[in-house]
Structures are given as C-alpha cells and as structure tokens.
Amino acid sequence: MTRIDRKFATLKAEGKKAFVAYIMAGDPDHATSLALMKGLPDAGVDIIELGLPFTDPMADGPTIQLAGQRALDAGQTLEKTLEMARAFRAANDETPIVLMGYYNPIYNRGVERFLSDARAAGIDGLIVVDLPPEEDEELCIPAQEAGLNFIRLATPTTDDARLPRVLQNTSGFVYYVSITGITGAAEPRGADVAPDVARIKAQTDLPVVVGFGIRTAKMAQTMAGVSDGAVVGSAIVKQIEQGKSVRQVLAYVKDLAAGAHRG
C-alpha cells in the first residue's frame, strides 16, 4: 500500500472524507511555498498536490498559469521541487504528496531517473495531465512499477465508452473534474456531480475525489458529500497571488478542510 492507499483506508475507517489541497511549488518563492507546504497537514489537509511549474500549462486557468510563471521567475525547477518534497519528508512521513504537472519536465530529466528521484524524495503519486491512457507505456506503467500511484482525471465528457480506458491503469484515486473547461472556472453543483461520481464508482473500487471550482467550505462540504473527498487548488493559489501571509493562507485552508471533512 502507498501512503495514498493508507490515507484513504484510514479516512474510511474514521467515516471521514478526504481534503486534497494544491499549491504550486516555488510560488511566490521556494522558501514561502515550502513553509506553506509544511503547514498544510496541521490545517487539515489529507493529501498534498504539489504543482510542477511549466512554461506551457495548457489545461490550467489564469490563476494557476500565473502561479507557475511566478515560480519559474523565482527560479523554481524540477530539482528544487523534489528538494521541497525531501525537506517536507524530514518532518512528515505520513501525508501523501502527489506531483501534478506536465510531461515535458519529466521527459527532459529522463523517465527512469525521474521516477527514482521522485520515489527517493517521498513523492507518492503523479497526475500528468497531458499523457492520455494511450500513452500508458510512456510513464504510467513505469510509475506503477516504481511504486508510485498514477492518478487520472475523469470529466463530465468522459462517457461510458471511454471511462474503462481511463480507469484501466489508474491507482490511488480518481480525480473527477466537476466542470468542463479550465481550472478555477465555473462553480460546480452537487446535483450535477453526484450522478457522474456514482457512474465512476460503479466501475472502480478506487476513491473518487472532486475538484475544480471549489472556493468555500460549504462548496467543499457539498462536493465531499457526493464523493470521497474534495480538491481545492485555484482558490488557495489565489490567496497567495493576493499576497496573503502563510498564516492567512493556512487559516483559509483550515476552513476548507473542515468543510470537506463534514461532507
């Protein structure tokens, strides 16, 4: 079992839903993002999604795009992102870390070297949004063999014909994108999301967590109420963009986490 598997098993035994928080590594700078990352578990975060900055983030909305650019401008690299994970692991060996980003930086490092380094740094799973299931031999299967979960996204447009292919080599959990479009866009509705979550869960034993568009504790509670947990990214990153302190951002995260845990 990976840390992700153990976390969901523990939450299920406790009758709780998961709260997953995304931050961009190196935003607004390496030291600040590391301090924020270290504070997330005490704020109630069950799983950390750590964004890997990239110059061409095609699936991300303006908030995440700007965060990536701030991080790159501050000198963040793949190596420094792995350093963040290693520094986090020095004090926390339990909270799962999912590295989320695009394939290009991984390809440039070399898949075998990247997977070895990621595992050694304490990374537990990967979300690589520009590698479809047809490319599973490229990274997904090698990642699983290296002991890392490979997490896939399902969307409202993932129909019953496509869904089995999406789920085929997925592990850890399924990330259900509650709305069509880019990150941080429209607001999701529980009545719309629930049937699709049920449809996915009918075809897999994996937990299904819901993300995109969640900005408040009430929204987190609603989305967790119809799934196995809620993911918040753009709304947290927006706090950083607005210049909030680490303490202020963590207070916001704590409120969101409390909402998800009530789901």
Instruction: Give the residue numbers marked as catalytic.
Output: 49, 60
Q: Which residue has the tokens 């993002």?
A: 33
Q: Are 118 and 89 in contact (CB under 8 A)?
A: no
C-alpha dihedral sign at 44, 40, 205, 183: positive
The label of the residue with tokens 């799973």 reads 125
List strand residue ranges (DSSP E) for the chain, in order.
Answer: 18-24, 47-51, 97-101, 125-128, 149-150, 152-154, 174-177, 208-211, 229-232
Closest to 212 (Cα-Cα) out of 150, 129, 126, 135: 129
Ramachandran sector of residue 184 (left: φ over 0; alpha: ψ -120 to 50; beta: rest) = left
10 sits in the region (left: phi over 0; alpha: psi -120 to 50; else beta) called alpha
